[in-house]
């Protein structure tokens, strides 16, 4: 069982029921909203791990809901549902911070695959990654601190916690600076100086006592970005 909750915001009752049945059968817990007002309220308040968001809704439309979600819950994954003729809105949705989109009509297999992919790379994963062990200590992400051998502790900033959680949730995978900017900083990477990411990684390495010349925890992948070392 996935044990993840997905909010489905869709005004077409037949499509909504089909999605709800599919994600429930796949092991997710579904929540429903049938219009923009209900969708906005649930998106702001409900405990959920991902939103499937139709763009055309009575009341506030999907783009309005997406703007509100990105302001109040910036790391909550959102997949927009769009008709084939809505390319302009689809592009706008991605620029506003949607994580992916699915074009109607879509297959259940495609929808579930996209849900799994977005949840896999999202920083707002369930707190299964709550502690990160590394040579020389452990990081308690809930307490935002590094506990080093010998009892010394280092405090982490919110951004450092989010970055480390994302890296540690994807051990052995090279993660590009563009992906970090998009998924963690929630910025369009085009034209943005990525040195701020390098500075955050440098501070994390310092707190983890990870030698910057020969790192063993947060590895540099030349020409790409960074990778959290797999446990040996």
Complete domains list, the chain, with CATH: 5-121 (3.40.50.2300), 131-228 (1.10.10.10)
Exposure of 72 by Cβ count < 10 A (0-12 exposed, 13-18 middle, 19+ buried)? exposed
- pLDDT band (50, 70, 90) for residue 193: confident
Structure confidence at residue 169 (pLDDT): 82
Using one digit for the tens of pLDDT, what is the confidence trace for 37-95? 999 999 988 888 899 999 999 999 999 999 998 877 777 899 999 886 667 777 788 88
Quote the pTM value: 0.56
Query: Locate tokens 């955050």: which residue?
Result: 200
Q: Which residues contact 85 (CB under 8 A, 6 or more apart)?
A: none
Exposure of 192 by Cβ count < 10 A (0-12 exposed, 13-18 middle, 19+ buried)? middle
Using one digit for the tens of pLDDT, what is the confidence trace for 122-142? 655 444 567 888 988 999 988
**CA distances in angstroms from 137 to 11, 14, 70, 157, 203, listed in the order given:** 50, 52, 34, 18, 16
Spatial distance between the Cα atoms of 213 and 100, rounded to a whole number of angstroms: 37
């Amino acid at each position: 069982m996935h044990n993840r909750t997905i909010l489905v915001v869709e005004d077409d009752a037949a499509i909504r029921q089909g999605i709800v049945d599919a994600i429930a059968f796949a092991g997710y817990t579904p929540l429903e909203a049938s219009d923009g007002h209900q969708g906005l309220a649930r998106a702001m308040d409900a405990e959920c791990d991902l939103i499937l968001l139709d763009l055309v809704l009575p009341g506030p439309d999907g783009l309005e809901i997406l703007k509100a979600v990105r302001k109040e819950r910036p790391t909550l994954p959102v997949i927009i549902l769009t008709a084939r003729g809505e390319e302009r809105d689809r592009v706008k949705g991605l620029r506003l911070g949607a994580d992916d989109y699915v074009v109607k009509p879509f297959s259940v297999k495609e929808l579930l695959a996209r849900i799994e992919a977005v949840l896999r790379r999202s920083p707002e994963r369930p707190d299964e990654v709550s502690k990160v062990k590394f040579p020389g200590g452990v990081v308690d992400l809930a307490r935002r601190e590094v506990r080093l051998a010998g009892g010394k502790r280092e405090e982490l900033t919110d951004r450092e916690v989010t970055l480390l959680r994302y890296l540690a949730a994807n051990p052995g995978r090279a993660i590009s600076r563009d992906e970090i900017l998009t998924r963690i900083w929630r910025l369009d990477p085009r034209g943005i100086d990525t040195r701020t990411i390098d500075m955050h990684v440098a501070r994390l390495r310092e707190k983890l006592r990870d030698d910057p010349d020969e790192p063993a925890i947060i590895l540099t992948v030349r020409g790409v970005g960074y990778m959290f070392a797999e446990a040996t």
